[in-house]
Structure 1
């Protein structure tokens, strides 16, 4: 008498759309589960760029175009056309539109970066001719515009003092104004303050200089570094207010509510919770505001008058500054003076770059640490 053996293992079942064991449709299997499609390699955009540059150079040279800018524009158009056409043929139109949008973004980025690198390269290549330790530690006392030698020490000292005074005045005013607008400001007064801050943001530097000059004429005040600092303060305050206001708005309201729920007074909550949380962004905004006023020339020409001598007292007598020194030396027109102007421009760019690096370092240092 025979009997059928019963096992615990079920019979193998092919997955849907499969063909036999492990019947998933792989690449080239021809099954219904085959979702693969042709795609361009990762190096395709670089290849398109190289081909576009060759096309732009060939058309520009063949057409006798002297301007390299025209060559570049032709290469840009060729790059976009090649990217869209090849992607449409190899992949599909949807991917082609996506690649075209990405290519436009990269082209705009490159077009924005090229002038910056060109400016930086020109300043470095021409500024290193006169930049040395003697240039940084001497003034222009007794040096004629056509003579070699001289330095930028008096202008660098004036810039540091004028920008420092403007920072000491602007930062507390801007910080307190931003705290009022975010934490307390309501009604017509807050709207009026916001409106005037927006208006002051777009004020030309010459207008700020003329305003302080009118006060000097009314009070019979002599030019000094302090007068230039007051004009720079007018330019710096709205930048500090706007950047600080945006950073304070990024602080989560839950932090404020938690502190208030513990019975902490509002002023102490702002001082101990809100400001420490936003201190990184606030510091970055302040550094960017300092970098913005460090290169102003018009208020210094009107209010400080410039000087060839070292004047360490910003409250009395004419002073110089790096922007004024650059203007003054370039106006002389001699080769030695122009070299000094380029060297001073390089010092000013280095000063601004150092401020930006310090701002980024402080922002990263003070940024809230994210837990795992």
Structure 2
């Protein structure tokens, strides 16, 4: 390789500039040096080695860049390096979790597992499936969606289109408070009202009520932001033609923002699908298929995972079933997120040439 390739590039407007592969070279050198330091120091943890390499990468990028390009460009490279390190610190645990779940979950995940319930299969015995848990999760989340979406969308329409004065401020305040409510608090509220006071007993519908409390503020906030993005010119044009305000909202505002609203609803559904605390308090669980969400305990995927893991002792058939159910739950939520992204792209405003 010629000296011209290795030497810093110069221009009439800027000083010396490092080549594009500089960051990759520093990253490779930091990894090698970090591994060597950890080996010499006797560090057996990969986390310690990675942190050493990350520090070397940031320090090395700044030091070399400061010497060749100057302190201003060095600070820019340092900020970029910190962003990349933060990104990797967030992605690596997520990728590790996903890999571990896939590796352990595929052991028993097949057609039989997805189409059968536990029935009379003991926790220590192989076999069984999660059909009853999938059915329960679908019914509980579906009921919560039927409750939350109309309430959330109508609340957002009121806040954006009609909300003025103290009532609107009070509604906004309570929506903000509900956004931060822990799931266990929502479960305890429905437990005291629905089961202890009204004596209705555990059921999938009781769990749906708690899930709807968690879902409503998400739907309100996402819908509110989408409605605010609708240009006021569209509203004014419709009102100028003599169209009533309610019809303007129905025929102009909602169709314009429907893509974002549906995306927010899908993300809210994905947020409540994995909730365990309300299900544990209100729905309980059963090894048999219960297609009636309004009566008797009903299984769900989060509850199934918890019970199988608790009865597994860290190994055995129940342990494998818990990982397979976790993989199924991740796949379900991932599909919801992909559908939300697809709808957002499909309904995005088309820009003309």
- Give TM-score scaled by structure 2 length: 0.94
2:59 matched to 1:81? yes
Deviations along 1:9-68, whole A, 9 cap, x unmatched?
xxxxxxxxxxxxxxxxxx99xxxx943532111111111111111111111111111221
2:5 aligned residue: none
User: Could you list the runs of 5+ residues in structure 1 that have no partner in the other structure?
Assistant: 1-26
2:70 matched to 1:58? no
Deviations along 1:110-155, whole A, 9 cap, x unmatched?
1111111011001000000110111000000010010000000000
Alpha-carbon separation, structure 2, partners of 1:47 and 1:283: 45
2:196 aligned residue: 217
- Residues 220/61 of structure 1: CA separation in 2 closer, same or farther (3 Å cut): same
Q: How does 1:22-37 map to 2 (within 5 A)?
A: 34-35=12-13, 37=15
Alpha-carbon separation, structure 2, partners of 1:330 and 1:96: 50
Alpha-carbon separation, structure 2, partners of 1:302 and 1:257: 49
- Looking at secondary structure, tell me which structure has more helix per residue: 2
Alpha-carbon separation, structure 2, partners of 1:35 and 1:150: 71
Question: Which segments of structure 1 move beyond 4 Å, counting only runs of 4 or more?
Answer: none
2:114 matched to 1:136? yes
Alpha-carbon separation, structure 1, partners of 2:39 and 2:232: 62
2:178 matched to 1:178? no
2:341 aligned residue: 360
Aligned counterpart for 1:191 among listed residues 169, 172, 192: 169
- Bigger Rg, structure 1 or 2: 1
The root-mean-square deviation of aligned C-alpha atoms, in Å, is 1.4
2:91 aligned residue: 113
SS of residue paired to 2:189: helix
Aligned counterpart for 2:323 among listed residues 342, 358, 365: 342
Q: Mean Cα displacement is larger for which, 81-90 or 162-171?
A: 81-90
Deviations along 1:89-114, whole A, 9 cap, x unmatched?
22222111111111111111111111
Deviations along 1:211-232, whole A, 9 cap, x unmatched?
1111221111121111111111
2:301 matched to 1:322? yes
How many residues align? The count is: 342
Alpha-carbon separation, structure 2, partners of 1:56 and 1:247: 47
- Give TM-score scaled by structure 1 length: 0.90
Q: How does 1:217-236 map to 2 (within 5 A)?
A: 217-236=196-215
Deviations along 1:171-194, whole A, 9 cap, x unmatched?
010000001011111111011101
Residue 197 of structure 1: CA displacement?
Answer: 0.5
SS of residue paired to 1:214: helix
